[in-house]
Structure 1
């Protein structure tokens, strides 16, 4: 008699986990790259110094303001020990999420850029910047790129859709009448099947319309160079933020 091997039944929980991974896990951007940091070697401060005291006071102030404002800039201290700071939360998140994000950003900035007088940290829904030099209202064009490892089947056609959508957003965010320098767009297109591109652009509120547009245009150039073949990407700049995905991410109350 031949005994047939019968594999053990797969539990319903495992099946549900596998389904969740297939549905969501491979569509998300490279979230392990968050937080992202920029820690230029432009100076350092001593532990327990006046500069560190001013920095701690400033980050505490930013966390308090994040409860009711999604953009804030201030300074602490005087002369050589003066610290300038700025944060920006993505416009679609709640004030509660903004505060939580800035609290984490403050912690990560001090941990990942220890004793640096200049640093930027990007979290999932916010960014935080400190410097010993005033930078308010000035465009800073230093970008970090992140992209979804899943590639699109027709990068040529997809690249045209991405470029057109992001170019529109750069114009719209720069001229945003409420003064938030924020814009989103959904673009419907066909690539073997009906698809939707979701995109978001946001600049620091203290930038002029022209500098906002310049910052986002540079971010779009980065997308063309690194990511046009990817299902999703984001460009992180101290002065602006640009992202696109094939799923809706800018939903109030979420931080995906």
Structure 2
């Protein structure tokens, strides 16, 4: 009996650890490390104090900052979701600085993602000037579509693409939310989405960044009721439940009935896509976690 208790307790610890590690999602860099009580750590502390204040006063809830001089210079970029308010944005970012330094202790480069905000910092002096979508990761809803998955996949892909178009070309904040009708009698009545880029990207760069993520949507998320592809410069998400805090900007009508469906077309973006996008994948609804902590070289 005592052996069983130990086994159950050990299993519980493992499950709790996995669930706790699943969110927020962090990625630790491999470029270099710093030691405690050094100038680099002090500069990171200055950023942690300044950036939450800076972002709360930003019209687009976006902020960048650079502190110190090489080799102890730290650059940081922070972005809150387009439907967040300033108070929630600032609070999320303050927590992000604490959490990422715990998860990526003494790494000079790291990123962390929450629902309301994202944070990235680096020792690379050119990181803020670069428009590369570093720190990429993908998270998959572990629930599958069982009723007419082809129709669902097509409508979800159409919504994500339309939302990305709106974010890039119709919003100075480079943010958009979407909702699509899936029709009566299906497994899910609607699907929701958001897409966002950092507002310093041009419309074309924003759409190209999102296209690079959407190009792999069919391989990563086909048959899943939800998923998100996250990066420092651009991200998107879709779900069968509403996770939005603001008004919907893009609406799609229900697709034609699939009583006699034609072969499903390939799912992909509506614009040319850039090169391949790397990133880890995991489930955020089950305890099965793959590549929870990824690494990259900025």
Gaps of 5+ in 1: 1-29
Q: Greater CA radius of gyration, 1 or 2?
A: 1
Indicate the residue corresponding to 2:82 in structure 1.
91
Inter-partner Cα distance in structure 2 for 1:31 and 1:118: 22
Indicate the residue corresponding to 1:34 in structure 2.
23
- What TM-score do the two structures reach when normalised by structure 2? 0.70
Indicate the residue corresponding to 1:147 in structure 2.
140
Return the structure number with greater relative CO, CA threshold 8 A, min gap 6: 2
Aligned-partner SS, 1:174? helix
CA apart distance, 1:142: 4.6
Indicate the residue corresponding to 2:93 in structure 1.
102
Runs of 4+ in 1 over 4 A off after TM superposition: none
Aligned-partner SS, 1:199? strand
CA apart distance, 1:219: 1.9
Work out whether residues 82 and 176 of structure 2, in 8 Å CA contact, stay in contact via their aligned partners in 1. no
Structure 1 residues 151-180: Cα deviation after superposition (integer angstroms, max 9, x where no partner): 112221111111111111222111134x21
* Residue 80 in structure 1 maps to residue 74 in structure 2: no
Gaps of 5+ in 2: 1-18, 247-298
Flag the structure with higher helix content.
Answer: 1
Q: How many residues align structurally?
A: 223
Inter-partner Cα distance in structure 1 for 2:81 and 2:131: 19
Indicate the residue corresponding to 1:186 in structure 2.
179
Inter-partner Cα distance in structure 2 for 1:249 and 1:136: 32
Inter-partner Cα distance in structure 2 for 1:206 and 1:213: 13
Aligned-partner SS, 2:56? coil
Change (3 A) 1:74 1:250: same
- What TM-score do the two structures reach when normalised by structure 1? 0.81
Structure 1 residues 93-144: Cα deviation after superposition (integer angstroms, max 9, x where no partner): 1111111110111111111111111110101211000011133351225521
Alpha carbon RMSD of aligned pairs, Å? Answer: 2.0
Inter-partner Cα distance in structure 2 for 1:49 and 1:160: 52
Work out whether residues 136 and 206 of structure 1, in 8 Å CA contact, stay in contact via their aligned partners in 2. no
* Residue 60 in structure 1 maps to residue 49 in structure 2: yes
* Residue 171 in structure 1 maps to residue 165 in structure 2: yes
Inter-partner Cα distance in structure 2 for 1:112 and 1:223: 28
